Structure 1
Amino acid sequence: MNLAAPELATGSPLINTSIFVGFVLVTLIVVYRASSRGTASDFFTAGSTFSGPQNGLAIAGDYLSAASFLGIAGAIAVYGYDGFLYSIGFLVAWLVNLLLIAERLRNTGRFTMGDVLAFRMQQRPVRAAAAVSTLTITVMYMIAQLAGAGGIVALLLNVRSGVGQALVIAVVGVVMVLYVLVGGMKGTTWVQIIKAVLLLLSVVLITFFLLGKFGFSISSMLDQAAANNPLGDRVLAPGAQYGESETTKLDFVSLSLALVLGVGGLPHVLMRFYTVPTGREARRSVVWATWGMAAFYLCTLVIGFGAAALVGVDRIQNAPSGQNSAAPLLAYEIGGNVLLGIVSAVAFSTILAVVAGLTLTASASFAHDFYANYVMRGRPEPDSVVRVARLTALGIGGLAILGGIAVSGQNIAFLVGLAFALAASANLSTLVYTLFWRRFNTTGTLWGMYSGLASCILLMLFSPVVSGSPDSIFPSVDFAFFPLRNPGIVSIPISFLAGFVGTMLDKSPRDPEREAEMDVRSLTGIGSRVG
């Protein structure tokens, strides 16, 4: 079969586009009807009106991104067992949030991560650092999502030129920013809930129909997947991607650290804990989200190997968006044009919801932490914070569009792994120290955040991700000196060490009353206020 044939690669562009446009219009109506037009609390945290189960579904909708649906399925189809390691890392990471972060964070903060970090520190420098960290991580995460959005729409319309895909990414970015400008957190949350339900239903149905084609024999599907993969039976065991050398094995350890520890520092995930009324509901949110994700990631294992079995690795890699095309092409093999259109619309809604949440988080951090508390010293004019947040959303969207165009064609799961490394390096150490170590101070916070963020970015820039290999962003040049593709194994310990050393060297007087207040608030919720 010839992949280049439009009817085989993408089905009917008219059907695909109609389903896609219909979904966008419906969700925009939902966003507008549920939009938050009141106070800053309404815009940033939906007034903390969502229950644990509702927020759990929204978290799942926020977290199950293009990396999960498109990138992981593609990685499993091409690399088998090693691709599934992304799923394991993404899922196990939620134990960090459940056991260490969720309840204490919700009880202590108000709108953003900066509220927690600055609670007993010097307000202005710590909030500025939190805003810088949040903006950097968010833009990196958004770049991956927009690259996925461009890929899925390019597949739907059979757009193969670089200019055409760049135009697609730009249009998609504008639509996503519109969600935030119109709806705020309440509207965005309802889109995430709808998207989570649709995504879970889609992967379960695809898994059921796919297994039916093999007589519900998983072994038969795996045998066929191995037969259709140039790597053969190697895809059924560890090492197809990360077992080639000692460097790739170390790269896998680095990636695993980033995936498992990164969720605890992702600003858009942490912000979701403020949309529930109590710390107990925050923990319930994590439990509901974890069960939904567990079901989803088990299905991705079947979908990935099923794509290799029915579609073939060569066809997947030659599609307009490469590995990221595995799930849509599988949907076309199973259910033709209609199922491809539905799956593509669900994949696109996944990206819409995630990027809307990311944009909202970045704009909230800049408006609340930097503008209101750093620039205006805690005395902003009425309504100005929400206005600055909306303007920030426009700027963040523009940066993400440019970045998405630059990395178009890269595996989305891999790009998200880099965002996780940034989050773990910049935020996790300072959050853990703040919540569990009374002596931790402003110097430790600043040293931990800036050293983790700077070292992670520096190592990424001088790694094979950017230059020096055929699949680099700039393959024609080579200025890489760091051999690993994910810097987490170096930058995460640097952050923890710098936070510890900075704290020990700072001899400034401590505030025992503020420390005690934070302990009581984080453990019991007494005194916490959102509004």
Structure 2
Amino acid sequence: MPDVLAADATIGSPAINISIFGAFVAVTLFITFRASRNNKSAADYYAAGRNITGTQNGLAIAGDYLSAASFLGIAGAIAVYGYDGFLYSIGFLVAWLVALLLVAELMRNTARFTMADVLAFRMRQGPVRTAAAISTLAVSLFYLLAQMSGAGGLVALLLGVSGDLAEALVVTLVGALMIFYVLVGGMRGTTYVQMIKAALLVAGALVITVWTLAEYGFSLSALLGGAAADGGQGVLEPGAQYGLSGTTQLDFISLALALVLGTAGLPHVLMRFYTVPTAKDARRSVVWAIWLIGIFYLFSLVIGYGAGALVGAETVLAAPGGVNSAAPLLAFELGGTVLLGIIAGVAFATILAVVAGLTITASASFAHDVYASVIKKGNVPPNGEVKVARVTAVVIGAISIGLGILALQAGLNIAFLVALAFAVAASANLPTILYTLFWKRFTTQGALWSIYGGLIICIGLILFSPVVSGAETSMFPGVDFAWFPLRNPGLVSIPASFFLGWLGTVISKDKPDEAKWAELEVRAFTGIGAEKAVQH
């Protein structure tokens, strides 16, 4: 493919790519408008009226979880680094076992709309809800940063645009669409978009996987041999990215810890459990999601190695969007302009569906937990909470657009950026969730120390790591104020958060509310009382 990246060439046909983008946007906008007619209350806007079936929710969870990092970032990481790139897939998938076994059913039984409903159930409402909302906003912004960056790189690649201004305009367009979906459709519209996107993504990945294997006589060994011929034998062995030194090996352990524990603390994933009518549906949702996500990650292995073999790591790195362009370039190599346009449309759908889910989660957290519960103390006029949520969605969208432009111009791998979001979720949210659900003595002080301590330590270590400064791949390569050597802080920040939650509790003068603990325990493990709670 020698002419693909020529200065005067574009990747495929911009007209076809735009047409496919436009078709998807038109269909999803129609669905969003239809869904908006049923948004009559906060329960409709936040939780789709709690009438999404387990199968539908499993499909939507897969659509929410399989982000641009899964489709673009992981494929690129495998194409360039081989075995080490696939470690992202393994971590993302294994994480669902933690979510299934520890939090899915219990969170659904206990909460109304947000993660903070669980954390504040037996604690002082104001401070805990505020802390949970801040944590939710932090995780959501990190995740949005990755999706916006991926969108800009993808569309810049497919439309043949170059330059900081053009890429910034692309990110702004994606952000505007995201805000519109959330403002109009709420959770119901977002759910339908995510379901369609999941079906398209798995189907698109299947097509590329089968086509790639067909190029090698449906022999996985021949495919791996082709990847090794281009990238060297190292792409088939551990260590290409994380085995270069003792520091990178520690970085791998830190990354794995963040990925495996992060999913159970992601607010936008947890919020999906509140859309189903029963605990049985919550369990069924996760089982469906695990199957769909697992199958997709097997496809990603073939797509990544296929890009390494048929496109080449050097070509991938040289393309607009860098490592994130592997899957689109493989589609172009296999099926030309039409297949590229279809896969690009699927990737674009992926980004829009995920950012819509993230935005509604962040806006719901502020409106429900801070505005309605802390500021207004429950005295909210009809639809007042939803109005605040919509305003918040616009603000969050604007911030994520700005951060996405910065990340895109820095050329950071979006799978890596999502891993940072997982680290924040695993540090600030998961310890507090587990202590709340399983430790009778846990107190408000312990919850606050765990959330704020995990959040501050995690983000602080990121700011002073090679992610931000001190390396060629940093967001600010021209300066160096990095003193923390690891690129993922989970190895330090996650144990620190567990420790702070324990320490804050044992030295606290607060007495646990035993009646509330008993109610939480019964509701979480049996579902008794949950249906009554969600109706108010």
Question: What is the TM-score when the length of structure 1 is the normalising length?
Answer: 0.99
- Deviation readout 1:24-59 (Å, 9 max, x if unpaired): 111111111112420000000001101111100000
Q: Distance in 2 between matches of 1:143 and 1:356?
A: 13
Q: Distance in 1 between matches of 2:276 and 2:240?
A: 43
What amino acid does structure 2 have at the position aligned with 1:218?
L
Alignment pair present for 1:313 and 2:313 = yes
Q: Distance in 1 between matches of 2:89 and 2:442?
A: 34
1:116 CA displacement: 0.3
Q: Distance in 2 between matches of 1:120 and 1:438?
A: 10
DSSP-derived class of the 1:354 partner: helix
Alignment of 1:132-171 (within 5 A): 132-171=134-173
Corresponding residue of 1:248: 248
Taking only the aligned residue pairs, the percentage that are identical comes to 63
Alignment pair present for 1:37 and 2:39 = yes
Corresponding residue of 1:352: 352
Corresponding residue of 1:524: 526
DSSP-derived class of the 2:534 partner: coil
What RMSD, in angstroms, separates the aligned Cα atoms of the two structures? 0.9
Q: Distance in 1 between matches of 2:386 and 2:402?
A: 25
Corresponding residue of 1:26: 27
DSSP-derived class of the 1:407 partner: helix
What amino acid does structure 2 have at the position aligned with 1:102?
A
Corresponding residue of 1:275: 275
Alignment of 1:119-268 (within 5 A): 119-229=121-231, 232-268=232-268
Corresponding residue of 1:3: 4
- Deviation readout 1:460-479 (Å, 9 max, x if unpaired): 00000000000100001000
What amino acid does structure 1 have at the position aligned with 2:238?
P
Corresponding residue of 2:384: 384
Q: Distance in 1 between matches of 2:8 and 2:189?
A: 37
What amino acid does structure 1 have at the position aligned with 2:412?
Q
What amino acid does structure 2 have at the position aligned with 1:208?
V
DSSP-derived class of the 2:477 partner: coil
Q: Distance in 1 between matches of 2:432 and 2:78?
A: 34
Q: Distance in 2 between matches of 1:436 and 1:280?
A: 21
Corresponding residue of 1:84: 86
- Deviation readout 1:189-228 (Å, 9 max, x if unpaired): 0000000001001111110111001111111111111122
- Deviation readout 1:305-347 (Å, 9 max, x if unpaired): 0001111111111110001000001001111111101100100
Corresponding residue of 2:446: 444
Q: Distance in 2 between matches of 1:500 and 1:379?
A: 34
What amino acid does structure 2 have at the position aligned with 1:392?
T
Alignment pair present for 1:503 and 2:505 = yes
Unaligned ranges ≥5, structure 2 = none
- Deviation readout 1:405-448 (Å, 9 max, x if unpaired): 11112111000000000000000000000000111110000000
- Deviation readout 1:143-181 (Å, 9 max, x if unpaired): 100000111110111122112111111111111111101
1:108 counterpart (97, 107, 110): 110
Indicate conservation of the 8 Å contact 1:259/1:421, yes or no: yes
Indicate conservation of the 8 Å contact 2:4/2:11, yes or no: no
Indicate conservation of the 8 Å contact 1:425/1:456, yes or no: yes
What amino acid does structure 1 have at the position aligned with 2:22?
V
1:6 CA displacement: 7.0
Indicate conservation of the 8 Å contact 2:470/2:478, yes or no: yes
Q: Distance in 2 between matches of 1:277 and 1:485?
A: 41
Q: Distance in 2 between matches of 1:228 and 1:166?
A: 34
What amino acid does structure 2 have at the position aligned with 1:412?
I
Indicate conservation of the 8 Å contact 2:10/2:159, yes or no: no
Indicate conservation of the 8 Å contact 1:3/1:318, yes or no: no
DSSP-derived class of the 1:293 partner: helix
Q: Distance in 1 between matches of 2:170 and 2:52?
A: 34
Alignment pair present for 1:288 and 2:292 = no
- What is the aligned length? 529
User: After the TM superposition, which segments of 4 or more aligned residues of structure 1 sit over 4 Å from their partners?
Assistant: 6-9
Alignment pair present for 1:465 and 2:467 = yes
Indicate conservation of the 8 Å contact 2:74/2:85, yes or no: yes
Corresponding residue of 1:428: 430
Alignment of 1:470-481 (within 5 A): 470-481=472-483
What amino acid does structure 2 have at the position aligned with 1:215?
G
Indicate conservation of the 8 Å contact 2:440/2:512, yes or no: no
Q: Distance in 1 between matches of 2:358 and 2:6?
A: 36
Corresponding residue of 1:398: 398
